[in-house]
Amino acid sequence: MKIGNTDLGDRPLFLAPMEDITDPSFRSICKNFGADFVYTEFISSDGLIRDGLKSVRKLNINDDERPIGIQIYGHLVESMVEAAMIAESARPELIDINFGCPVKKIANRGAGSGMMKNVPLMVEITDVIVKAVRLPVTVKTRLGWDEESKNIVEIAERLQDVGIAALTIHGRTRSQMYKGNADWRLIGEVKNNPRISIPVIGNGDIDSPERARYAFDRYGVDGIMIGRATVGRPWIFREIKHYFMTGEILPDPGLNEKIDLAIMHLNKSIEHKEGNRAIYEMRRHLSNYFKGLPHFKETRLKLLTTLDPDEILDILEYIRNNWSAYYNNTDQSS
């Protein structure tokens, strides 16, 4: 699979862009575990053109994260074009447009998946961005606004016609948010539409190697994007690739590997963020790194409430010393 001049090989795996999650520290870790392509957190076009610190900071890219895409969102043509040109100056491999975020404060003002209620504007924004930048432009979107308006087949054709290089489809409507099951049937319909020649990347509910292989084999997608299943579990990319190569399910990482990973993740996060933000945004990962440990409630509470990095490191070593026997005597197959 290729996007522009970037060759991602056969059956590539993409790390989904996620707010407060896919920061440089997490992107780097996921790359180390086998993610073929990663994205920045999504960036507000308004914040970017106004030189907002939070938005501008998201443009920071390290070489070990490449290939990488910068994702922008907004609902005004001029702002989106200007933001795309600013993002291009950060030298990503592509510019991705977010037409899929279902969050109320974004969708209700016509950005993200709110754009699915105004397809002509969606197409116009995409068209002018494609013409304004030299990099490949891709789009991430959903099946439609609600059950009565699943118009992704038409949208895919119209976006391809104005020059996008690839399309990622989350298999839910905006109304579903993240509830219910992703509808991969419609993703497959887009991929197998004889009018569609660009790569189609499927997204939604991929949380195991078996589901990943089924999505490729059953629906013929060119790539798979994984989001929520990576949080506190970046090794899912390694698990999937191992399964593709061998047909075997890798055992869950051992406790020492998880603790070493958590320490590295914490240090990277602190390196990239100021104040307590690094700790706050690490908590959802830390919560999942040690999911399933018995009699862990009290320790978990301490881990997720302290703001002292040294105390977190002490707690991680406490976990290493007190739960090693459980790991050594338990089958950790995933």
Per-residue pLDDT of the chain (334 residues), as tens digits, is: 999 999 999 999 999 999 989 999 999 999 999 999 999 999 999 999 998 888 998 999 999 999 999 999 999 999 999 999 999 999 999 999 999 999 999 999 999 999 999 999 999 999 999 999 999 999 999 999 998 999 999 999 999 999 999 999 999 999 999 999 999 999 999 999 999 999 999 999 999 999 999 999 999 999 999 999 999 999 999 999 999 999 999 998 999 999 999 999 999 999 888 779 899 989 989 989 998 899 999 999 999 999 999 999 999 999 999 998 776 665 544 3
Identify the DSSP state of 252: P
* Angle, alpha carbons 327-331-332 (nearest 5°): 70
The number of folded domains in the chain is: 2
Last residue of a domain, one of 198, 222, 246: 246
238 and 306 in a common domain: no
Both tokens of residue 276?
């307590």
324 and 212 in a common domain: no
Domain that holds residue 284: 255-328
**29, 38, 101, 166: the active-site residue:** 101
Burial 240-259 (b: 16+ CB within 10 A, else e): bbbbeeeeeebebbebeebb
Looking at residue 77, what is its pLDDT? 97
Amino acid (one-letter) located at 145: W
Alpha helices in the chain (DSSP H): 24-32, 45-49, 53-57, 77-88, 104-107, 119-132, 152-161, 184-191, 209-219, 236-246, 255-272, 277-289, 297-303, 309-328
108 and 217 in a common domain: yes
At residue 309, φ and ψ (nearest 5 deg) are -55, -35
Looking at residue 333, what is its pLDDT? 42
Looking at residue 334, what is its pLDDT? 37
pTM of the predicted model as reported, rounded to 2 decimal places: 0.94
Q: Is 75 within 8 Å of 111 (Cβ atoms)?
A: yes
295 and 238 in a common domain: no
Residue 101 falls in the annotated catalytic set: yes
Looking at residue 329, what is its pLDDT? 62
Whether omega for the bond prior to residue 92 falls within 30 degrees of 0, making it cis, is no
- Looking up residue 46, the CATH number of its domain turns out to be 3.20.20.70
Looking at residue 265, what is its pLDDT? 95
Last residue of a domain, one of 215, 246, 277: 246
Looking at residue 173, what is its pLDDT? 95
Q: How far apart are CA 272 and CA 189, in angstroms?
A: 41
Q: Between helices 277-289 and 309-328, what is the axis angle to 10°?
A: 10
Residue 334 falls inside a structural domain:
no
Residue 333 falls inside a structural domain:
no
Q: Is 43 within 8 Å of 73 (Cβ atoms)?
A: yes
For residue 167, the SS3 value is strand
Distances (CA, A) of 55 to 20, 100, 301: 12, 19, 31
Residue 171 falls inside a structural domain:
yes
Last residue of a domain, one of 180, 212, 246: 246
Looking at residue 324, what is its pLDDT? 85
